[in-house]
Structure 1
Amino acid sequence: MAGTALSMARSMLGVAIHVAASAAADEMSLLIGVRKDIWFIKDELETMQAFLMVAEGIKEKDMLLKVWAKQVRDLSYNIEDCLGEFMVHVASQSLSLQLMKLKDRHRIAMQIRDLKSRLEEVSSRNTRYNLIDKNQILTRTIDERDSCMEDIRNQSGSNIAEAELVGFFKPKEEVIKLIDAHARNGPALVVCIVGMGGLGKTTLTRKVYDSVEDFSCSAWITVSQSFVRMEFLKDMIKQLFGDEALKNLLDGKVVREENLANHLRKELLEKKYFVVLDDLWNIDDWKWIRSIAFPSSNIKGSRIMVTTRDVSLAEKCTLEFPRSAIYHHEPLETNDAIILLLQKTRKSEEDMKNDDNMRNIVTKIVKKSGRLPLAILTIGGILATRVVSEWKSIYNQLPSELETNGSLEAMRRMVTLSYNNLPSHLKSCFLYLSIFPDDFEIKWRRLVDRWISEGFVIAKAGVSVVDVGRSYLNDLIKRSMIQPSSWDVEGNVKSCRVHDIVRDVMVSIARDEKFACSTWDNPTSIPGDNFRHVAYQGFWCPDKCLDWNHVRSLTVFGKRPMKPAPSVCSPDFRMLRTLDLHDAQFEITQEDINTIGSLRHLKYVNLRSHRGSHVYKLPRSIEKLQGLQTLDIRGSYVTSLPAEITKLHSLRSLRCRKSEATDSYQNLHTHYPMMCCISMFHMPVLFTHLVSPTDKSSDMMMEFHMAWTGRLPNYDGVRVPRGIGNLKELDILELVDIERTSRKAVKELGQLIKLRKLSVKLGKSMQKNKILSASIQKLTSLRSLSLDARLRTSGLKCLHSISSPPPLLSTLHLQGDIEEMPDWVGNLVHLVKFKLRLGNPREPDTRMNILVFRAETFINLRVLGLAGWWRPVRELIFEEGTAPHMERIKISRLAFGSGITGITHLPKLKEISLGWGGRVAKLGVLQQEVDVHPSHPVLQLERHWREHDLGDVVQESSTLARAEQT
């Protein structure tokens, strides 16, 4: 009996092994089949994307083609999702793990089969309806583009007379001065008029063209994006030399391009000519025109004017011509814009003064128009047919009116023409901006990191992907598609905005393309469709009608409603690449992020909410986010990073800083002794949940909870684990608390060779600080370094352990006690920004130090920031030959008992700012030096000048008065 049972068991085991082996073989076969299909649909995706690029310019004129393009686009989105799923669940796993993930593999296999079936149907649909023909598309694209250009020019031309007396007189005089038309000799000079579409570049240039004299011949040539070279040359000859000259040249002859070009150059050689090239779009056209139409040896004082939307193109046009210039045409002044709008609507300033409602809506419309003449005149044309009481309604409907109102067609085309002319890699980058609200200031790093996470930035060998992304931003700015709003000390764009009208058209295009959508105070306004990028403005309340399985980015600008809402890391958002809660108006909780590991596609996570964060730890499941590139948890209560963070090899930016609210922990034992006792004895804070989430006291309750659980120490940095050196792609790392980080991990910081920005909280151990110094010396790519020793008795002594600092360091921020600055600080040749905060808030220092900037040091420094803890310093001295490029000095919470000496040695000084707590003895003496300084700097005072020690000088300075007004 026992033998029979054993035999049966062996038989069953054999069958099980056979079945398992057979299943494994089937699974392996399926896996191989899936990989083949993946390559197939990947190739199909490339073809589809190429088709969509070609169809972009003509689909509006062909409804069948438009519908088909929409279907192709939706299918391409789904293919991208499938490829993403494959990479996360199959391709990135080992073979053994691939065989274990049966559910994921089967799901992906079914998706691929469905996609292949849909691909065949889309292809057959083109055959049935004959939707696309290569030659037809090329012809129609050119025709559509030129037709669009002609419509816009006609619209602009009709506005010349109306804009005649409003806002163009000063620009006209400035351009005429640049042209210097009365010059009798000298090489040809190029003047480029640059600005966005609708700004009036053509109008301005026409006014200049009609005004200048003293030229023997002139021509106005409109350069279409697809101009025919022979026709261009004929038009030039006809305008410059007359109809008869062209007729004689062509009469009965076979004339080639080179014949016309030779004749043109020969005739222009000894003439003083004036030629306008209106609306130039690409550099290749300019190179051909320059080489074939204009004689290089003409020295008669000839002039060439070029209008373009592209700053970089203008720079290239003027590069080879001495004394050439670029004129940046600006929008109308606000008052001129108001006058132009009133003029178009046949209203007067008196009408506006007597009607508050009219004044308010006119102000809004002028702002909405961005003070662009074309926008003002087209909107004004609509308002002119309505009574004033209807103007507000028209204003509110402008975004939708841009899509349907024929009177606004030229304005819409103005934007779409620029959009269609963008290279393919910039189109998605441009449309992505539509998720941000009106007049929103967008930080460059936030935008570029998001572009990268979405796959919009194409990496280049030997160039940082961030630098490539930044070049995209600069390209959009130079093409006048977006507007820079602030710059850093080195002249790089820090933030940008989108023109209101441009944004309205952009939002329309993004919705039409099913690319992005947003809502404002209406959670149901997002239609249930296949959008890839979603922004909530007003209230965060995900629409159940929206297919969240395909959403790639979620951005929240609004509030969380009182009723329960899904977690921001809901598993429903499984394809999410970007989660941005930086501008959310609600507190982010620990519960919100506990399931973040389920969002396997995440590459960008920003949890830095305006209302703060009650997140106190990162879940260990974060290691599943193998594609994560950016993690920003500043403002949270996280004080230690889990070991799993070291497995995220794609991380480029890791920004952690404890919430500023926790600074009050220093005062808990003073102000709340009973509650502190509760925390000391580890008693549960049972009343925490009785506090309303919107009540500020919830922060205090969270602090007590953190103290009770031992997660609220007296520092705002984070402990980084061993293995941090594995994150070879890190570009930014802040804020590392050296005190609680192991020596091995501190040493590993030196392995982060791509690091550009590092912020560190120094520890008490001099040995560990020296290890940090050795690590810093290895970071040869570092641009920005911040060392904070405010609460450490060792101060900044570790600076003296650095013998060879990072050579490219451009920003240095030091906080803490230091007796003498090491020489290497002043010898940093790339240093442009230096901030020094002296002292320790725990140990007020009564010593009277002297800060001396020695000769031949800080040779490229432009901004100096000095601060302290209201401590006295005897004197600030600038020796002759120091900081020759210094522009701004900012002083706060610091008192100079003997004043500031030597600002006359700073030839480029623009501003001295005394902020809160900033004091300078004998301010009147400094005031006099500022008044006579050759660069005319401004002295900015936080407090009234009478509250300062003026010394022997008591009279009020015009410089001080001007500073206070600003």
Structure 2
Amino acid sequence: MAMAAEAVISAVTGKLADIVIEEAKFLHGVEGQVRWIKRELESMQCFLKDAAQKQEVDARTEDLIRSIRDVAYDAEDIVENLILREENKEPRKSRTVLKKFNSFFCDCVNSHYVGTEIAQIKTKIEEIALSCSAYGTVNLGNSAKELPRSASRRLQDIRRFHYSDESEVIGLNDESKMLESRLLEGGVNRRVISIVGMGGIGKTTLARKVYKSQAVHYGFYHRAWIYVSQTYSAKGLLEDICKNLMEHQPGKDNLSPEQMVEKLSEFLKDKKYLIVLDDIWDVGAWRCVQAAFPNNEHGGRVLLTTRNKEVAAEADPRSPPHEPRPLDDETSWALFLKKVCAEESECSPTMVELGKQIVKKCGGLPLAIVLLGGLLSTRDLSYEQWSRVFDCFSWQLKQDETPCSKILDLSYNDLPHYLKPCFIYLGIFPEDHEIRTRRLIGLWLAEGLVRNRDNLTLEDVAEKYLEELTDRSLLQVTERRIDGKIKACQMHDLIRELAVSKGIDGNFFHIYDSTESSPADEVNKIRRYVAHSSYNYPSSVDVLRSCVFFNEKGWDGYGKAVANFLESGLEKKGFGLLRVLDLEDHSTCIEDGLQKSTQLKELSLFGNLASQGESVIGWLTNLHRLEVLSLWASEGDCLDSLNFTNNKLLYRLHLQGKFAHKLLEAHKFPPHLTTLILKNCYFKEDPMPTLEKLHSLRRLKLLEGTYWGKEMVCSSGNFRQLEILKISDLVVLENWIVEEGAMPSLKLLELKSCQSLKMMPELQHIRTLLELRVGFYPEHLVTRIQKPDGEDWSKIQHIPSVTVVMEEY
């Protein structure tokens, strides 16, 4: 509990610090008291760090930790409610004499009320201080040695592109070659090959190494990797397979599972295919999808990873499962050295001996070795540092012979205070979910979990947080951008379970899905509500800070359920403190009552805006704290009246909906917009003359239906900050002119499904361009860029990476 409470205190004190700086005008005589509360909570954080280092604490200490967590939350609620009340006051100039008198009376009452509340908080803090003897002298029970952090960390020695995936694999060559052989050989009948083993043994790592091997890549033209997980739905699984194999979105057609099985079987009947089903927990998941994979005598293969031998036996009784072996001592030591970024020659003989003892306690489990190595990679390469870790780890193993769980605790405890709440927050994502960096960073920033650092933007700091978590092997990189930054990542099941347990322990968030055992009403004061697939909603929404919805499983009734929850909360006059409303892919209209939520920093708004029109537009204008907005209007809605002039903090904007003729004027966009995504806007006029005036823009996506004109021009000297440009499905576009001097910082250009485009634009002047992706273009355009005789080859020959995917016409 101490570790979770420390993360809570870190998040709350960070927010209070921001409030004191940014919202001082609203604190009206209590600013000094708020500063005092912040200082005292920081002192308590020192006590919590000490408690977190200990291996056992008594019941009295547990009560103190719980009290510290609760008083931190109470302080946050009081201060933010004060700011909310002040912001919602009617401007003085517009008040009548009677209203001014009433307002003065209400101000006096509120000031007294706030003063009383803060005084109560101070009293609670003073009582806690006395109880734990100034936060540090209480007997915390038996303890192992602490793990003090070294001032001279070795993070600079960690490679910049430190992948937590198959590039770090050691000792799997023989196993991967054997599995490749079984996939590529063995006759023309369909075969199911299963990798079976305990959590942390390396099933997914081995499967990924095989899947990405050159032999398998060329042996199977039609391939798909599907994450299954412990909680799944037949519909969601089949939709994922359709999407990966056929680039088809079955949800748009509202196909039943039976119809999708038929569609997949028909598609694969004459093809040699490979389907990887990763992390199957029970035979039910296999039964849902097996009919989609025909025995077509073309050598179709299915590769499973599972902890359950029954799944392997049911999937293919004639195919013996492969069970990965624990790593031997030599391979374990090599993997450990790689993770701590050291050569054996750098270690003294005594360090080598100690290091091998540390590794031996991991029992040959790759996950345990990787986590322990990631932990030590942040420390000095010294016998003293390794010895302290060894002593702490050995003490824990005497209590419970489970190396993975104990190393996980050590890895979490070793995180710096600013990373702990960010790590815990990752637990909101569903099991085996591929986490897109942009969404995660937007959520972190909206929640106030990212602290200012040097002269970096908060977005850049958040990206560094991600790199730190991957360096410690707490996140697995699944995809990187052309500039090396993380584009997508995942958490191992065991690591996610740790984040979830800390989140629940600290009342940091509450997740509701079909396996939720306790009714939502039993949980008091929910601050972050996360729905994976459940109708079980909290009744108390008065202190709710964020609502994040996932629809991982093709959940029928998703939109209706979300609407019911929002309407219920509005009836109770909730959502006043709401910062994040992320309604992933649903089409529910937001009622006018939500306009009381003025604290929002991230908002995903979907549905029919026509019935609300100006009221919604006016509400959006008043969201002064808004940083991320996704606005998806229903068909028939018009977005011409949008104006983001007052949304000065808005840096990421996604607009999907119709405009009458052209894009908004440049001055109506937020001044610091860095990311803009447009879709189905149906512009009749070229949007580029407006877009190139957005001087902070770094990422731009023009997607399906954005522009219905034949010519587009990027003029010289503009788009100076633009680094990523993606253009897709502009089916009428014939000529795209890029003048010399335009987009001088561009690194990635993606052109997809612009079937009418006659030739490539003049790209030879953009010397910063590192990657060009051309997808689903007619043959004549692909021919123009072929080396060395293509008419447009000279325009792209300087680009280091050019990828072309052809479409059949």
Q: TM-score range by the shorter chain?
A: 0.5 to 0.7
Q: 1:143 aligns with which of 142, 145, 158?
A: 145
1:402-421 Cα shifts (integer Å, max 9, x gaps):
x9995444332211111111
Distance in 1, Cα, partners of 2:640 & 2:578 = 24
Distance in 1, Cα, partners of 2:522 & 2:457 = 40
Does 1:476 pair with 2:383?
no
Tell me the amino acid that sits aligned with residue 129 of structure 2.
Answer: S
Q: 1:619 aligns with which of 563, 568, 592?
A: 592
Q: Secondary structure at the match of 2:645?
A: helix
Distance in 2, Cα, partners of 1:201 & 1:779 = 57
Distance in 1, Cα, partners of 2:706 & 2:336 = 67
Distance in 1, Cα, partners of 2:346 & 2:38 = 61
Q: 1:654 aligns with which of 629, 642, 664?
A: 629
Q: Cα–Cα, structure 1 residues 215 and 578, in superposed 2: closer, same or farther, change >3 Å?
A: closer
1:552 Cα deviation after fit: 1.5
Does 1:638 pair with 2:609?
yes
2:51 is matched with which residue?
A: 55
1:777 is matched with which residue?
A: 692
Q: 2:675 aligns with which of 756, 760, 763?
A: 756
Does 1:281 pair with 2:277?
no
Q: Cα–Cα, structure 1 residues 787 and 510, in superposed 2: closer, same or farther, change >3 Å?
A: closer
Q: Secondary structure at the match of 1:605?
A: strand
Q: Cα–Cα, structure 1 residues 482 and 124, in superposed 2: closer, same or farther, change >3 Å?
A: same
1:68 is matched with which residue?
A: 64
Tell me the amino acid that sits aligned with residue 625 of structure 1.
Answer: S
Q: Cα–Cα, structure 1 residues 781 and 479, in superposed 2: closer, same or farther, change >3 Å?
A: same
2:750 is matched with which residue?
A: 834
2:418 is matched with which residue?
A: 425
Distance in 2, Cα, partners of 1:279 & 1:852 = 46
1:133 Cα deviation after fit: 2.2
Distance in 2, Cα, partners of 1:647 & 1:126 = 45
Tell me the amino acid that sits aligned with residue 560 of structure 1.
Answer: Y
Q: 1:221 aligns with which of 347, 351, 367?
A: 351
Structure 1 residues 899-908 or 501-510, which shifts more? 899-908
1:71-121 Cα shifts (integer Å, max 9, x gaps):
222222222222222232247867876853677656544433432332233
1:554 Cα deviation after fit: 0.6
Does 1:824 pair with 2:739?
yes
Bigger radius of gyration among the two: 1
Distance in 2, Cα, partners of 1:434 & 1:789 = 33
Contact 2:712 / 2:735 at 8 angstroms: preserved in 1? no
The TM-score normalised by the length of structure 1 is 0.50
1:579 Cα deviation after fit: 0.9
Q: Secondary structure at the match of 2:132?
A: helix
1:35 Cα deviation after fit: 5.2
Does 1:740 pair with 2:647?
no
2:319 is matched with which residue?
A: none
Distance in 1, Cα, partners of 2:467 & 2:735 = 41
1:509 Cα deviation after fit: 3.6
1:581 Cα deviation after fit: 1.7
Tell me the amino acid that sits aligned with residue 698 of structure 2.
Answer: R
Q: Secondary structure at the match of 1:124?
A: helix
Instruction: Give the % identical residues.
Output: 20
Q: Cα–Cα, structure 1 residues 881 and 47, in superposed 2: closer, same or farther, change >3 Å?
A: farther
| Root mean square deviation, CA, Å | 5.1
1:718-777 Cα shifts (integer Å, max 9, x gaps):
34424x22222221222266733898x5232455233332426666664xx5xx544322
Contact 1:486 / 1:495 at 8 angstroms: preserved in 2? yes
Q: Secondary structure at the match of 2:774?
A: strand
1:603 Cα deviation after fit: 1.4
1:274-314 Cα shifts (integer Å, max 9, x gaps):
xxx9888366734x89xxx9xxxxxxxxxxxx9999xxxxx
1:478 Cα deviation after fit: 0.9
Contact 1:739 / 1:765 at 8 angstroms: preserved in 2? no
Q: Secondary structure at the match of 1:638?
A: coil
Distance in 2, Cα, partners of 1:646 & 1:656 = 13
Distance in 2, Cα, partners of 1:833 & 1:217 = 46
Distance in 1, Cα, partners of 2:373 & 2:733 = 61
Q: Secondary structure at the match of 1:491?
A: coil
Tell me the amino acid that sits aligned with residue 281 of structure 1.
Answer: L
Q: 1:573 aligns with which of 509, 533, 541?
A: 541
1:468 Cα deviation after fit: 1.5
1:33 Cα deviation after fit: 6.7
Tell me the amino acid that sits aligned with residue 648 of structure 1.
Answer: L
Tell me the amino acid that sits aligned with residue 580 of structure 1.
Answer: V
Distance in 2, Cα, partners of 1:217 & 1:557 = 47
Q: Cα–Cα, structure 1 residues 103 and 720, in superposed 2: closer, same or farther, change >3 Å?
A: farther
Does 1:448 pair with 2:441?
yes
Q: 1:560 aligns with which of 535, 554, 559?
A: 535
Q: 2:642 aligns with which of 721, 743, 754?
A: 721
Q: Secondary structure at the match of 1:633?
A: strand
List runs of 5+ in structure 2 lacking aligned partners.
1-26, 93-99, 149-168, 176-204, 206-324, 338-343, 356-371
Q: Cα–Cα, structure 1 residues 618 and 851, in superposed 2: closer, same or farther, change >3 Å?
A: farther
Does 1:204 pair with 2:204?
no
1:454 Cα deviation after fit: 2.5
1:914 is matched with which residue?
A: 806
Does 1:410 pair with 2:403?
yes
Tell me the amino acid that sits aligned with residue 116 of structure 1.
Answer: K
Contact 2:752 / 2:776 at 8 angstroms: preserved in 1? yes
Contact 2:432 / 2:490 at 8 angstroms: preserved in 1? yes
Contact 2:714 / 2:739 at 8 angstroms: preserved in 1? no
Q: 1:862 aligns with which of 765, 771, 775?
A: 771
1:555 Cα deviation after fit: 0.8
Q: Cα–Cα, structure 1 residues 446 and 874, in superposed 2: closer, same or farther, change >3 Å?
A: closer
Distance in 1, Cα, partners of 2:793 & 2:347 = 61
Contact 2:621 / 2:646 at 8 angstroms: preserved in 1? yes
Q: 2:106 aligns with which of 100, 108, 113?
A: 100
Q: Cα–Cα, structure 1 residues 503 and 803, in superposed 2: closer, same or farther, change >3 Å?
A: closer
Q: Secondary structure at the match of 1:822?
A: strand
Contact 2:715 / 2:738 at 8 angstroms: preserved in 1? no
Distance in 2, Cα, partners of 1:224 & 1:494 = 37
1:558 Cα deviation after fit: 0.8
1:126 Cα deviation after fit: 2.8
Contact 2:759 / 2:792 at 8 angstroms: preserved in 1? no
1:486 Cα deviation after fit: 2.8
Name the structure, 1 or 2, with higher relative contact order (CA <8 Å, separation 6+).
2
1:133 is matched with which residue?
A: 137
Contact 2:374 / 2:472 at 8 angstroms: preserved in 1? no
Does 1:605 pair with 2:581?
yes
Distance in 2, Cα, partners of 1:33 & 1:556 = 40
1:439 is matched with which residue?
A: 432
Q: Cα–Cα, structure 1 residues 792 and 432, in superposed 2: closer, same or farther, change >3 Å?
A: closer
Distance in 2, Cα, partners of 1:169 & 1:786 = 42
Q: Secondary structure at the match of 1:544?
A: helix
Distance in 2, Cα, partners of 1:76 & 1:792 = 50
Contact 1:574 / 1:600 at 8 angstroms: preserved in 2? yes
Count of aligned residue pairs for this structure pair: 567
1:355-404 Cα shifts (integer Å, max 9, x gaps):
xxxxxxxxxxxxxxxxxxxx9xx9xxxxxxxxxxxxxxxxxxxxxxxx99
Contact 1:753 / 1:778 at 8 angstroms: preserved in 2? no
Q: Secondary structure at the match of 1:424?
A: coil
1:783 Cα deviation after fit: 2.0
Distance in 1, Cα, partners of 2:582 & 2:666 = 28
Q: Cα–Cα, structure 1 residues 910 and 726, in superposed 2: closer, same or farther, change >3 Å?
A: closer
Tell me the amino acid that sits aligned with residue 799 of structure 1.
Answer: V
Contact 1:220 / 1:278 at 8 angstroms: preserved in 2? no
Tell me the amino acid that sits aligned with residue 606 of structure 1.
Answer: D
2:759 is matched with which residue?
A: 851
The TM-score normalised by the length of structure 2 is 0.59
1:600-629 Cα shifts (integer Å, max 9, x gaps):
2111111224xx3231x562752x433211
